[in-house]
Amino acid sequence: MKVLLISNMYPSKKYPAYGSFVQETVRGLEELEGMECQVVAISEREAGLKKNLLKYSRLFLDTGKALLFSSYDLVNAHYIFPTGFLALPAALLRGKPLVVTSHGGDVRLGKKNAPLKALTSLVLHKARRVVAVSHYLARELEGEFSLPREKIEVINCGVDTDKFFPRPREKALAELGLNPRPKEEKIILFVGNLIELKGLMPLLRAFASISPSLPQARLVLVGEGPLKERLLQEASSLGIKDRVTFTGPLPHHRIPTWMSAAHLFVLPSYQEGFGLVALEALACATPVVASRVGGLPEVVTHERDGLLVPPGEEKALAEKILLLLKDEKLHGEFSSRARDSALGHDFKRQIKRLGGVFHSLGPSS
pTM of the model: 0.93
Predicted pLDDT of residue 16? 85
116 vs 113: CA distance, rounded Å:
6
8 Å CB contact between 197 and 270: yes
Cα distance between residue 335 and residue 259, in whole Å: 12
Instruction: Tell me which CATH code domain 169-343 carries.
Output: 3.40.50.2000
State the pLDDT at residue 13.
87
The pLDDT assigned to 363 comes to 84
* Amino acid 49: pLDDT: 87
- Return the pLDDT at 127: 98
- H helix or E strand, kind and range, residue 187: strand 186-191
pLDDT recorded at residue 15 = 87
Report the pLDDT value the prediction gives residue 365, as an integer from 0 to 100. 57
Query: What are the C-alpha distances in Å from 280 to residues 33, 80, 191?
Result: 26, 25, 10
User: How large is the C-alpha radius of gyration of the chain?
Assistant: 21
Burial (Cβ within 10 Å: 0-12, 13-18, ≥19) of residue 251: exposed
* Helix or strand run (H / E) with residue 153: strand 152-154
Residue 245 has what pLDDT?
97
Query: What confidence score (pLDDT) does residue 250 get?
Result: 92
Please list the ranges in the chain whose pLDDT falls under 70.
180-184, 364-365
Contact status, residue 84 vs residue 128, Cβ threshold 8 Å: no
> What's the CA gap between 349 and 96, in Å, rounded?
26
The closest of 121, 120, 141 to 132, measured between CA atoms, is 141
Q: Which CATH number fits domain 2-158+347-361: 3.90.550.10, 3.40.50.1370, 3.90.25.10, 3.40.50.2000?
A: 3.40.50.2000
Within 249-313, residue ranges assigned H as helices are 255-261, 276-283
Task: Give CA–CA dist 191/340, Å, rounded.
Answer: 21
Look at residue 181 in the predicted model and tell me its pLDDT.
63
pLDDT at 364: 65
Nearest of 74, 98, 71 to residue 84 by alpha carbon: 98
Q: What pLDDT is attached to residue 238?
A: 97
**DSSP class of residue 83?**
I
d(C-alpha 195, C-alpha 325), whole Å: 26
Q: How high is the pLDDT of residue 242?
A: 95
The domains spanning 2-158+347-361 and 169-343 adopt the same CATH topology = yes
Domain coordinates in residue numbering, the chain: 2-158+347-361, 169-343
